[in-house]
Amino acid sequence: GENVEQHPSTLSVQEGDSAVIKCTYSDSASNYFPWYKQELGKRPQLIIDIRSNVGEKKDQRIAVTLNKTAKHFSLHITETQPEDSAVYFCAVVSAAGNKLTFGGGTRVLVKP
Amino acid sequence: DTGVSQDPRHKITKRGQNVTFRCDPISEHNRLYWYRQTLGQGPEFLTYFQNEAQLEKSRLLSDRFSAERPKGSFSTLEIQRTEQGDSAMYLCASSLTGGDTEAFFGQGTRLTVV
C-alpha cells in the first residue's frame, strides 16, 4: 500500500518567516495531493491541493510544489502569522486506492 | 448545517462493551470514509463506502470493527468488545465520487475505553 513520510514532525518559526513541510510517497500512480490543517480539538480542513498534472499551485500565502519524478511534494507558508500555528498533514490519493493516506503530521508553532 | 456531523462527540465506555458511532455526510456526497486518529498521529484509514457499498476495509481493522451505510446516506461504525487500544478519535469524512475530490471531515467522536 501507499506509504507517506512527512518531515519535520515539529517546526518552530518566528512570525513573518517562512515554513516548509515536505512529504514523500511511494506509489508512482498517485495523482492527488491535498494538505490539511488541524487546529487543536478541531477537524482537519483542506487548505490547498495539487493534482499530478500540475507542478506548483499557490493560494495567497500558501503554495504547494510537486515533483512526480522524485515522488515528493512540499507545502510552503510565507509571512507566517500566529494563526498559522496548527498541525499540518499531507495526504496522497493513488489512482488505484481512491482513499487518502496521510503523513504523520507537522506541528507548526509561529512565535510572535 | 450542511457539513459532516458525527454523534456522539465523546464516548467513555468500559472495556468489553460495544459502542456505535454515527456519521451523517454532506447530502450530495456519494463517498464516505472512516478514519481513526490517535494523539500526535495522522488519520489512519479504516474503511470507505461508495453509496451503500463498502469498497475497501483496512487490513489493520480487526473483526471487532464493522461499518454500515444501509441506504447510502448516514453510516454507523460499531466496535465490539472494546479494548483500551481502541481509545482514539474516530473521524468520518465525505466527498463527491472520485478520490481526487476534497474530503470534508466531521468533528469526530472521541472514544475512551477505561
Judge: B102–A34 Cβ closer than 8 Å, yes or no: yes
Residue B99's pLDDT band, with cuts at 50, 70 and 90, is: low
Of the listed ranges A18-27, A82-91, A97-106, the least confidently predicted one is A97-106
Nearest CB neighbour to A102, from listed B42, B98, B108? B42
Q: pLDDT higher for B78 or B61?
A: B78
Give the Cα separation of B54 and B48 in Å (integer).
6
In chain A, residues with a C-beta closer than 8 Å to the C-beta of B42 are 4, 6, 89, 91, 102-105
The full length of chain A comes to 112
Residue range A78-91: mean pLDDT, rounded: 97
Q: What share of chain A is helix, strand, coil (3-state, %, to 5)?
A: 5, 60, 40
Q: Which residues in chain B are closer than 8 Å to A46, comparing Cβ atoms?
A: 102-104
pLDDT reading at A61 higher than 90: yes
% of chain B surpassing 90 pLDDT: 82
CA distance B41 to chain A (A): 5
Query: Which residues of A fall within a CB distance of 8 Å from B109?
Result: none
- Are A99 and B44 within 8 A, CB to CB? no
Residue A60 confidence (pLDDT): 96
pLDDT-derived band at B1, boundaries 50, 70, 90: low
Pairing of strands A106-111, A86-94: antiparallel
Whether the CB-CB separation of B57 and B35 falls below 8 Å is answered with no
With CA atoms as reference, report the closest residue to A11 among A92, A77, A68.
A77
Of B56, B104, B108, the CB nearest to A99: B56
Nearest chain A Cα to B110, which residue? Answer: A41
Does residue B108 sit at the A interface (CB-CB below 8 Å)?
A: yes
What pLDDT sits at residue A26? 93
Tell me what pLDDT residue B15 has: 98
pLDDT score, position A99: 86
Chain A residues near residue B43 by CB distance under 8 angstroms: 44, 89, 100, 102
Q: Is the pLDDT of residue B40 over 90?
A: no
Task: Say what the pLDDT of residue A97 is.
Answer: 63
